[in-house]
Amino acid sequence: MSNRSDTNAKPSAKPRVLGPIELIAMGVGGMIGGGIFSVLGLAVQISGHGAWLAFSVGALVALAAGYSYLKLALAFPTDGASFTYVERGWPDHPFFAMLTGWTVIVGYVGTLALYAFTFGAYGADLLGKAGEGRLVPDLLSAAVLLFFLIVNLRGPRTSGITEDLVVYAKILLLAVFAVAGFVNMDKANLMPLFDRGVPNVFVAGAMVFVAYEGFQLINSAVEETRNPRRNVPIGIYGSIIIVSVIYIALALVSLGTLGEAGLIAHREYALAEAARPVLGEAGTVLVAIAALLATSSAINATVFGAARLMAQMGEEGKMPAILARRNAASVPAIAVWLLVAAALALTLLGGLEIITAFSSMTFLLVSITVTLANLKLRRVSGAKVLPCLAGLVLMSVTVALVVLHLANERADLLLAILSFYATVAGASFAYLRAARASRRA
């Protein structure tokens, strides 16, 4: 089975410098970005005391999706990730692959903007400038995006070392808060477990899936990974498990220290407020620093993976070929510049609530498409039918829960997301037609 997989992949001339530590750091950095700092309050608002179980549901969905990403990454170790897998699954329908790639890129721009916005907000709060207008937060958002633009332009080794330092420092800070919180938490704040009903736990789990988006970035680094058949599984499964443990622990501690009402009242800064009863003002500083590290590492990992996806699409003619140009460090520099510029514009223009909801649905839908491709290509990828079908059912139910929640609570937001999907589909279809016309001419 592995021999057939290898024949489908182009030999890589890229330096293989990434090991399991760098891959886990990349996955954890991609997941623990703005997500946990912004969605914890939302999870509590929807599911109450069962918020920690909601993050467990999100972890199961991520693991189900991770199975197909893992199998296809080893079968087709190119920079394309989701785009490549859909292209392999439906070679006679190039629009499917193009639409998948364009949609994922737009989703990455949205998450980059979310991370930068969160960095600016927590940074301004740490400097005592919160509530004094958008100048300081916007300057901090721009600064962090430009910093990691430079880091990524220098090549994967610099990016990997930076990721290690940032991610593990962040985990250490969150661990300090979690341990102190477990000692001081009031267990009465956790009961009754299903105070808002069992179904709402699953709704919250669906809504917070965006907090697990990011492990897919590991697939974009397969060609630069040492011994990928050993290290890629460690990277994907290891990062999801580590992140889920962190999320569940933080949800339990936050509920146990601040309580449901307090977390909902301070939804945007839930973790910072939860740290105050445990560690005082030092706790709010601790969480703010963790938030800055979290969003920084997420920006780094997202730019790394998304730029390589754009380069692959440029090589395949599904995006402008200029995006495939690489610098002396083998980095698709123009793609990196474009991603950062688009994310900066979106950060400064606002509208992140729509983009955040869009990102959650986008990566769920893309994960379903990737699982379908894995099922179709199982003779090459070595995938088993049962895990694929189980993942499809779980992810489809999750998408349905998101849609139902938005339809009941924010119909305007759902309409905006669907309109945005239509716009992306129309733009990608128009580019495909233009590309075909150019080749005929």
Note the pLDDT tens digit of each residue in 349-358. 765 567 667 7
Average pLDDT, the chain: 84
Looking at residue 8, its pLDDT comes to 47
Looking at residue 162, its pLDDT comes to 61
What domain range includes position 320? 21-369+391-428
The CATH number linked to 69 is: 1.20.1740.10
> pTM of the full predicted structure?
0.81
Query: How many structural domains are present in the chain?
Result: 1
137-148 burial, b at 16+ Cβ within 10 Å, e below that, comes to bbebbbebbeeb
Distance, C-alpha 270 to centroid of its chain: 20
Which residue from 266, 198, 292 is spatially nearest to 42, judged by alpha carbons? 266
**DSSP three-state, residue 18:** strand
Looking at residue 157, its pLDDT comes to 60
Residue 193 lies in a domain: yes
Which residue from 350, 343, 184 is spatially nearest to 278, judged by alpha carbons? 184
For the segment 13-18, the average pLDDT, to the nearest whole number, is 68
Cα R_g (the chain), whole angstroms: 21
Higher pLDDT, 333 or 133: 333
| pLDDT of residue 20 exceeding 80 | yes
CB 24 within 8 A of CB 235: yes
| pLDDT of residue 306 exceeding 70 | yes
| pLDDT of residue 13 exceeding 70 | no
pLDDT tens-digit series, residues 114-125: 888 888 888 887
Instruction: List the end-to-end C-alpha distance of the chain, in Å, as a whole number.
Output: 42
Residue 276 lies in a domain: yes
**What is the rounded CA–CA span in Å between residue 355 and residue 116?**
13
